[in-house]
Amino acid sequence: MNVRSDGVSDRAGIAVEAGYFPDDSLAAFAQNGLQLFFIQAPTDLETRACAVLCLTPKLLAGEATRAQWQDAAPDAAMVVDESVAQAGEVRISKLWPAAAVMSTLSLAAAMARQRRHVHQLTQVGVALSSRRSHQALLELILTQARRLGGCDAASIYLMEKHRDGTVELVVRLAQNESVEFSFAEERLAFDLTSLAGYVTVTGSEINVTDVYAPPAEVPWRFNSSFDRRFGYRTASIYATPLRIPQGEIIGGIEFINRKRDPAARLTGPDATLAETLPFSADIVPLLRALASQAAVAIENNRLLLEIEDMFEGFVVASVTAIEQRDPVTSGHSFRVARLTTALADALPRSGLARFHNTHFSEPQLRELRYAALLHDFGKIGVREHVLVKAHKLTREHYLAIRERINVETERLKRRALAQQLVMLRSGMGSHEELLTIEQELEGKLAALETYWAAIQEANEPDILQGKPDKALKTAKNYSLSEEGTPLLTDEEHRVLSIPRGSLTTEERREIESHVVHTYNFLRRIPWPADLAAIPEIAGAHHEKLDGSGYPHGRTQADIPFPSRLMTVADIYDALTAADRPYKKSLPSERAFAVLGDEAKRGKLDADLVKIFIEAQIFSLAGDPAAAADQHPR
């Protein structure tokens, strides 16, 4: 018996008790496209599919119930001898005229076929809706197309519209059960000369038994290059457009060489012609419905990818715009995203038992990447002069102090000169006295220069906490010669005494508030379920395991694990990024020491720091200009 891919022979299989139908009627079954096979128990149906299950008094008198029989052949239509039939069941009798028996069984077989087709299309629809990858979707479409149609081969082509208004057809995928080949996309003219062009231009179907003998009046011609190259023989083809519900044609699909036995391999022209079937009226509606499902799935997938591309572009543009407020940090968010996702991907390969089963799926990596890209978005709410503050003093305060020293310098010189003039005019000043005035002046000017050097040095931010400068303290106590006011105000001295970085306590709070701004901004976005954790992940990237982080002082149990990954990457890049006006970059070894110290003090996850260094994740930071290259699918 030749079995098609839908599990049914070319002749509908009728499962029945041996001897139920008279021997003289058996020939009529074959003539009506029906084929009997005999059963005694439900187990006989385990290896043999049937279109119609005919239950007789003898079969129902055995141990098996109706339900057990039906469970054994769930896709079959059930007919029951009228002597034991129940209400609602399709009846039959061996005593009926042969024509009535054949009619009943043929209708039952048709019902089973339709039910099976609906079930198959439902399964295909569910499968198609689950594919996000465009290529995986096309592969599934062709695989299901060949399975449902019992085809040896199939191909799918899509329209590609260019900005200049021209259109091309691109063969996106082809499959062939009998020939192994390396597929390469092929471009076709959008006209009537090819099967693909004819189908997509006109919206018509093509159904031929032998493509080498097409109707004389058709404008298309079959491209036999594949056949010639691989010694294949294309015979029957059914080609139909891929039409979306709005009526637009987006491409087409070709079903090639429908086979009597789906398991058969078409090894040559003679075998092909003997084995292939035309695409008959019973299978075309099924394939047409599949093409309709495929068109919707492809269009939905295309729209989804366009939305993802648009969102990707929005994120990249937003991050770029934010970083342009502080150009020297350009690329930071992209590098952090790259380092964070690489660290996540390296966890199961680290050899640490703790992470043996820690695998980030593609959606989870995408979520982590977007959270990392957007982790500093809240800096849009930070005043620019605070965001880019390169020194502890503002430029205004810095120039004011410089001016005080300049004025004081001139005053001291003028006072010393006046003293010398008085002595000279009175004739009472000796050379030694004049020299003493000069030396005192030089000492005072040297002190001012020392104070200025101390102020300049103190004005430069330290990455690591620095020690107080005695000269700066002395400068604080220096009183200007005429006003009697201090060289440095209390506020200026407080700012210059900042032990680490360039920010005052108030400014640091403002900078730290960017995390809150980030969270508040991101939580307003209606994220899909697979990206819903982005605000929480991004909003915790400055938290520390010991509760010393900000903005909420969370401890280990409350910090999302993806945020811990990002914290390591963020600190490393901030330490090693190119020199910024407010800090010098550290070499990797010193940055490792900082990370290690933070881990020892219980602020960072020591295992993550270890993997970051040993797996050389840090090396992926690379060229900052090349960091904006991630676009996962």
pLDDT at 573: 92
Average pLDDT over residues 549-568: 94
Whether residues 496 and 512 share a domain: the answer is: no
Looking only at the bridges linking them, the beta strands covering 12-16 and 52-55 are: parallel
pLDDT at 523: 92
CA dist 512 and 460 (Å) reads 21
CA dist 481 and 440 (Å) reads 14
DSSP 16: E
Residue 37: C-alpha distances to residues 6, 11, 12, 45 (Å)? 18, 11, 10, 10
Q: What percent of the chain has pLDDT over 90?
A: 46
Last residue of a domain, one of 74, 92, 122: 122
CA dist 499 and 501 (Å) reads 7
Whether residues 408 and 494 share a domain: the answer is: yes
**Lowest-confidence pick of 71-85, 92-106, 375-389, 465-479:** 465-479
- Domain with residue 19: its CATH number is 3.40.50.2300
pLDDT band with cut points at 50, 70 and 90 for residue 4: very low
**All residues at 6 or more sequence positions from 427 whose CB lies less than 8 Å from its CB, including other chains:** none
pLDDT at 302: 87
- 415 falls within a domain: yes
- 99 falls within a domain: yes
- 633 falls within a domain: no
Whether residues 161 and 39 share a domain: the answer is: no
**All residues at 6 or more sequence positions from 624 whose CB lies less than 8 Å from its CB, including other chains:** 330, 331, 332, 334, 335, 577, 578
Find where tokens 């209400």 sit: 87
pLDDT band with cut points at 50, 70 and 90 for residue 548: very high
**Lowest-confidence pick of 15-24, 28-37, 226-235, 618-627:** 618-627
Candidates 49, 61, 47; CA nearest to 17 is 61
* Residue 425 pLDDT greater than 90, yes or no: no
Last residue of a domain, one of 450, 472, 501: 501
* Residue 117 pLDDT greater than 90, yes or no: no
pLDDT band with cut points at 50, 70 and 90 for residue 629: very low
- 7 falls within a domain: no
Whether residues 491 and 516 share a domain: the answer is: no
Residues recorded for the chain: 633
Task: Confirm if 513 and 478 have CB atoms less than 8 A apart.
Answer: no
3-class SS shares of the chain: helix, strand, coil, % to 5: 50, 15, 35
Whether residues 539 and 575 share a domain: the answer is: yes
pLDDT band with cut points at 50, 70 and 90 for residue 562: very high
The residue range of the domain holding 233 is: 133-302
- 148 falls within a domain: yes
Residue predicted with more confidence, 476 or 419: 419
Whether residues 220 and 76 share a domain: the answer is: no
- Domain with residue 221: its CATH number is 3.30.450.40
Whether residues 379 and 463 share a domain: the answer is: no
CA dist 274 and 265 (Å) reads 12
- 319 falls within a domain: no
Whether residues 511 and 486 share a domain: the answer is: no
Write the pLDDT tens digit of every residue in 266-296. 988 888 999 999 999 888 988 998 888 888 8
**Lowest-confidence pick of 88-92, 233-237, 585-589:** 585-589
Whether residues 350 and 232 share a domain: the answer is: no
- 399 falls within a domain: yes
Whether residues 236 and 355 share a domain: the answer is: no
Task: Confirm if 268 and 178 have CB atoms less than 8 A apart.
Answer: no
Whether residues 456 and 602 share a domain: the answer is: no
Last residue of a domain, one of 501, 524, 540: 501
Phi-psi region of 331 (alpha: psi -120 to 50; beta: other; left: phi over 0): left
- Amino acid of residue 304: L
pLDDT at 420: 81
pLDDT at 5: 40
Residue 572: C-alpha distances to residues 114, 253, 601 (Å)? 63, 52, 17
Q: What percent of the chain has pLDDT over 70?
A: 93
The mean pLDDT of the chain is 86
Average pLDDT over residues 141-157: 90
pLDDT at 567: 96
Residue 250: C-alpha distances to residues 245, 297, 365, 482 (Å)? 11, 11, 32, 87
CA dist 108 and 79 (Å) reads 8
Please name the helix (run of DSSP H) or strand (run of DSSP E) that holds residue 251, with its range, or none. Answer: strand 249-259
Structural domain count, the chain: 4
Average pLDDT over residues 553-563: 95
**Lowest-confidence pick of 111-120, 232-241, 244-253, 560-569:** 111-120
Average pLDDT over residues 431-451: 87
- 216 falls within a domain: yes
* Residue 593 pLDDT greater than 70, yes or no: yes
CA dist 496 and 394 (Å) reads 11
Helices 284-323 and 134-149 pack at an angle, to 10 degrees, of 180
* Residue 467 pLDDT greater than 70, yes or no: no
Candidates 216, 163, 159; CA nearest to 188 is 159
* Residue 122 pLDDT greater than 60, yes or no: yes
Whether residues 428 and 444 share a domain: the answer is: yes
* Residue 169 pLDDT greater than 90, yes or no: yes
